[in-house]
Structure 1
Amino acid sequence: MSPAVRTYRGASAEERRTDRRARLLSGALDVVGGVGVVGLTVEAVCARAGLTKRYFYEAFADRDAVLAALADDVYAGLHGAIVASLREVDGDTRARATRAVEVFTETLDGNPAVARLYAESPGQPRLLARRDDAVDEFADLVLDEVLRLRPEDRERLRTAAVFVVAGTTHLVTRWLAGGVPLERLELVEQITRTGTGALLAREPTA
């Protein structure tokens, strides 16, 4: 017979830990949105979450760990939103590419805290490494969900997909900082046109 699960106010210990972790991540994102990645401290996260350090260290080893978990959540959410949106597109490759870029830019433009975490990642070694991993993940998304390639074509275009995603990442980061004088729709159009041009010019030369 399984041991009884102890509850407190109707929630199990595991449910309470999960809730506290979510509150800490939400608090960390609020801190990043307010003072940036460099300004994030354990004390600030706990204050925003309304929890003590005891609960912080129950969930995370240190500030870098909470930043890494926050980045994981942001990239997973963005990846999921793009894939879900693409499943609703019946058009050609250009239409799917446009939708992917729209979701990407809308998400960052509509959430300043997420945009700040994204833009400031290169200044933090652990976050930079995670963003590099995300470039690879989104390159796979382009190959699988935008181009819908056959397995035999996939590897040949993977370098080009990484190039397009990395370039898009850099351009959108500059745009968020005000360094690219385009409206969002113009930015989407230019990224889509350039990216699909690079990826669709894939037939090998004789």
Structure 2
Amino acid sequence: MPPVVRPYRGVAADERRRERREKLLDACLDAVAESGVSTVTVDDICARAGLSKRYFYESFGDRDAILVSALDDVIDTVGTALNELEQEHGSTEERVAHTAAALVRALTADPRSSLLYTEASANPALEDRRRQMVDRFTPLLMKAVLDADPADPRAEAATVLMIAGTTELLDRWLRGTLTFTEAEFVDTLTALGVALATSF
């Protein structure tokens, strides 16, 4: 017979674990925002969360695991935004504009999270997950933005170029290298996207 796990101060054990996990993820994002992906440590995350390593390893296997989990939250946000675009109609410019705005909103909703995406190349586990994200969303973007057949290699190449270029521009914009307002940034992405979408 399994042991009975009683609530602590009225909070069930599963809920306490969930709360600790969320605190650790939030602390991880703070650490990334302050010093970048490459310098994040388990010790730092635990100190920021006010939790012992025991509770860290209750939810995550290692540092890479929590970074990937945090990036997964970003991917889910982007996925939700892109799935809503599947029903979009209109001209190429309208589709590109809607997509650019949705991506910028999703990736900047929490500036800490966007760094996980733009700095993914600094961590092999994050880069692997980012590549999985690109593979997952490329067919969707091919249809939503280009209204193209996912089997068309030229359309695939154009879409991957859009994703890679947007990632680099987003990184520069977030770091202040590109001094656009959000509206100007979306307009710029739209103009570049339309130019690429209509070039083949």
Aligned length in residues:
197
1:25-174 alignment, distance < 5 Å:
25-84=25-84, 86=85, 91-149=90-148, 153-156=149-152, 157-174=155-172
With over 3 angstroms needed to count, the CA separation of the structure-2 counterparts of 1:39 and 1:8, relative to structure 1, is same
Query: Does 2:181 match 1:183?
Result: yes
Post-superposition shift, 1:183? 3.3
Flag structure 2 segments of 5+ consecutive residues without an equivalent. none
Q: Percent identity?
A: 38
Deviations 1:152-197 (A, max 9, x none): x221022221121111111221222233343332322222222233
Deviations 1:73-107 (A, max 9, x none): 112122213434x3685644422321221132234
8 Å CA contact 1:25, 1:70 repeated in 2: yes
Letter in 1 for 2:196: A
Moved more, 58-67 or 111-120: 111-120
Letter in 1 for 2:7: Y
Distance, in Å, in 1 between the alignment partners of 2:54 and 2:89 is 50
With over 3 angstroms needed to count, the CA separation of the structure-2 counterparts of 1:195 and 1:25, relative to structure 1, is same
8 Å CA contact 1:164, 1:195 repeated in 2: yes
Letter in 2 for 1:49: A
> SS state of the match for residue 176, structure 2?
coil
With over 3 angstroms needed to count, the CA separation of the structure-2 counterparts of 1:142 and 1:88, relative to structure 1, is closer
Taking structure 1 as the reference length, the TM-score comes to 0.80
8 Å CA contact 2:20, 2:55 repeated in 1: yes
Letter in 1 for 2:49: A
Query: Does 2:161 match 1:194?
Result: no
Distance, in Å, in 2 between the alignment partners of 1:172 and 1:25 is 23
8 Å CA contact 2:138, 2:156 repeated in 1: yes
Deviations 1:130-152 (A, max 9, x none): 22222223323312433454xxx
Distance, in Å, in 1 between the alignment partners of 2:196 and 2:38 is 36
Distance, in Å, in 1 between the alignment partners of 2:134 and 2:59 is 27
Flag structure 1 segments of 5+ consecutive residues without an equivalent. none
Distance, in Å, in 2 between the alignment partners of 1:76 and 1:148 is 23
> SS state of the match for residue 18, structure 1?
helix
With over 3 angstroms needed to count, the CA separation of the structure-2 counterparts of 1:49 and 1:144, relative to structure 1, is farther
8 Å CA contact 2:96, 2:190 repeated in 1: yes
Deviations 1:35-83 (A, max 9, x none): 2223311122112222211010111111111111111111212221343
Moved more, 86-95 or 110-119: 86-95
> SS state of the match for residue 194, structure 1?
helix
Moved more, 157-166 or 14-23: 14-23
Letter in 2 for 1:155: A
> SS state of the match for residue 119, structure 2?
helix
Post-superposition shift, 1:3? 7.4
8 Å CA contact 1:5, 1:12 repeated in 2: no
